[in-house]
């Protein structure tokens, strides 16, 4: 009887330990446009979906997802639900949506705000070329009860002030929404390399998970491939950050360079991290 109880206790502890690990992914899936020719969404959507299902992240933030792409992913990412709106409101324009494992996680709160001087309404901020958004959610693990925030975004590709102010706005939102200092993560395509000023703003309160993996970051240095399969990927513009206040540990970090028939599933490589929420 004692050995049975001991075995049960060990099983319970191992289950609890695994329940405290969460995997996150950020993925700019490249908007759907037939002008991409051999790399058009219609030719890569099945492989991209199978790639996501293989790695099975608990939470995945996407960028550049148009409504038709959201519909496709919503139907084919079995076991996932998603939150978010288009940057032009409701189901219009590109989404910076968050997909999550609905069997494991419950959404306690979620919303989308615009990266602008008026974040509560559809708007283009500062010197940005386009409206930009950040979608966030507070998740609760159904088994362990652990709670954590994920903020997913896509910074402007032109506006210098817009990107700097977007960084400050996201930090302010985290502080406003998360007074209890729950684990918080920021994912996205920031259209910036690591030594840029807006990244420095983020790093006042956030750590780049790329630099925290105990065995180093796996995969190419960069994340933007531009569908150029035969060239090195050196430009790193996609990130997953964690709040410095987090009582969590990065276990693994990878930039995933999977391909099929000499084609990438997107013009960006997805970034994957494994986190221990309570080390």
Report pLDDT for 16. 44
Q: Domains (ranges, CATH) in the chain?
A: 22-276 (3.60.10.10)
Number of Cβ atoms within 10 Å of the Cβ of 9: 10
Q: Is residue 67 within 8 Å of 97, Cβ to Cβ?
A: no
Cα angle at 209 between 148 and 87, to 5 degrees? Answer: 65
Q: At what angle do helices 67-76 and 41-55 cross, to 10 degrees?
A: 40
Give the pLDDT score at 19. 60
Tell me the per-residue pLDDT of 81-129, one tens digit each, with 9 for 90 and over. 999 999 999 999 999 999 999 999 999 999 999 999 999 999 999 999 9
Give the chain's largest Cα–Cα span.
70
pLDDT at 161 over 50: yes
Residue 5: pLDDT band (50, 70, 90) is very low
pLDDT tens-digit readout, 15-68: 444 669 999 999 999 999 999 999 999 999 999 999 999 999 999 999 999 999
pTM beyond 0.75: yes
The whole-number pLDDT of residue 20 equals: 92
């Amino acid at each position: 009887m004692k050995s049975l109880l001991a075995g049960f206790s060990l099983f319970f502890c191992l289950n609890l330990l695994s329940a405290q690990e969460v995997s996150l992914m950020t993925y700019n899936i490249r908007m759907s446009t037939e002008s991409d020719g051999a790399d058009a969404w219609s030719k890569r959507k099945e492989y991209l979906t199978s790639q996501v299902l293989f790695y099975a992240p608990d939470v995945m933030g996407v960028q550049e997802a148009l409504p038709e792409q959201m519909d496709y992913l919503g139907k084919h990412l079995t076991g996932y639900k998603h939150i978010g709106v288009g940057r032009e409101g409701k189901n219009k324009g590109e989404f910076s949506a968050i997909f999550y494992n609905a069997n494991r996680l419950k959404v306690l709160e979620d919303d989308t705000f615009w990266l602008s001087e008026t974040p509560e309404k559809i708007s283009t901020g500062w010197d940005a070329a386009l409206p930009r958004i950040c979608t966030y959610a507070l998740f609760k693990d159904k088994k362990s009860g652990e709670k954590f925030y994920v903020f997913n975004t896509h910074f402007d590709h032109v506006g210098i002030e817009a990107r700097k102010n977007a960084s400050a706005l996201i930090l302010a939102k985290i502080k406003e929404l998360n007074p209890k200092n729950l684990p918080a993560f920021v994912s996205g395509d920031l259209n910036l390399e690591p030594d840029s000023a807006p990244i420095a703003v983020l790093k006042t309160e956030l750590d780049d998970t790329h630099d925290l993996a105990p065995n180093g970051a796996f995969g190419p240095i960069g994340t933007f491939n531009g569908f150029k399969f035969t060239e090195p990927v050196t430009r790193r513009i996609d990130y997953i950050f964690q709040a410095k206040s987090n009582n969590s540990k990065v276990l693994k970090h990878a930039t995933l360079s999977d391909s099929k028939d000499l084609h990438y599933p997107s013009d960006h490589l997805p970034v994957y991290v494994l986190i221990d929420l309570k080390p």
